[in-house]
Amino acid sequence: MMNETAQSSTAPVVVMQRYEMKYILSASQAQRLLARLEGHMLLDRYGRTSIASLYYDTPDSRLVRSSLEKPKFKEKMRLRSYGMASPDSPVYLELKRKADDIVYKRRVQSTVPAVDAFLAGRGTLGADSQINREITYFRDFYGVLIPACLIIYDREAYYEPDGDLRLTVDFNPRYRVDQLNLTTSMAGSLLLPAGGAILEIKVQEALPLWLSRILTEERIVKGSFSKYGAAWQLQQRKARPAAQAAPGLVLPA
């Protein structure tokens, strides 16, 4: 397995395989948790970083609808930038799969124009490799993939100096379904109540006892949360009043 040790490594990480656990934090829980990490984990050298992820889906939202059914295997594709992108800045096209609670990621560095051309069916993303073949197969299997949702958040990433434990806290998670690009702004509608955050713990083995104890004492409970899935559900709920007003239109349960 290859570990994604924050962003402190000088070599680009293109393959990741690990367990990921998610938790929703209130503002006070997030503050207390970060204070208690001192002496156990270090903040990576980037500090707090704004990240934008543009999710692609089929026109009928096949990928997000499948993911929300919580199958044993699911996959998604997103284009990620660290800060707002420009046409020439590096972005990362990621293929993320989850099988039996293990997360597998494949990513390739590119640019926005090159990714746009690739998703339109023109060529590949650089030299031939297993990662490029997997991403190309995904594109060809689903046929038409369009920008579906932009997820933005402000991340702090922590790593264990002598271990494989990685922890991220995503503050102010937000989304938008218009201006679906990485070059316009980092604005969006909040996914959580003000001050809320998303904790992700990423590890190849079991949680250390000290972290399990902190989670228990702070009443931080593991849950299931997909940023794209939550945004899609919010949009569906917003659309229902207008749809209900249309005569003869029957909404799904």
pLDDT at 252: 32
202 and 20 in contact (C-beta within 8 Å)?
A: yes
**All domains of the chain, ordered by start, with CATH?**
15-245 (3.20.100.30)
DSSP, residue by residue, the chain: -----TTT-SSPP-EEEEEEEEEEE-HHHHHHHHHHTTTT-EEEEEEEEEEEEEEEE-TT-HHHHHHHT--SEEEEEEEEEESS--TTS-EEEEEEEEETTEEEEEEEEE-HHHHHHHHTT---SSS--HHHHHHHHHHHHH---EEEEEEEEEEEEEE-TTSS-EEEEEEEEEEESSS-SSSS-S--EESSSTT-EEEEEEESSPPPHHHHHHHHHTT--EE---HHHHHHHHHHHHHHHHHHHSTTPPPP-
One pLDDT digit (tens) per residue for the chain, 253 residues: 333 333 333 334 565 667 889 999 999 999 999 999 999 999 999 899 999 999 999 999 999 999 998 888 999 999 999 999 999 999 999 999 988 778 888 999 999 999 999 999 987 887 678 888 899 999 999 999 999 999 999 999 999 998 889 999 999 999 999 999 999 999 999 999 989 999 999 988 789 999 999 999 999 999 888 999 999 999 999 887 654 443 443 323 2
pTM for the predicted model, two decimal places: 0.85
pLDDT at 223: 87
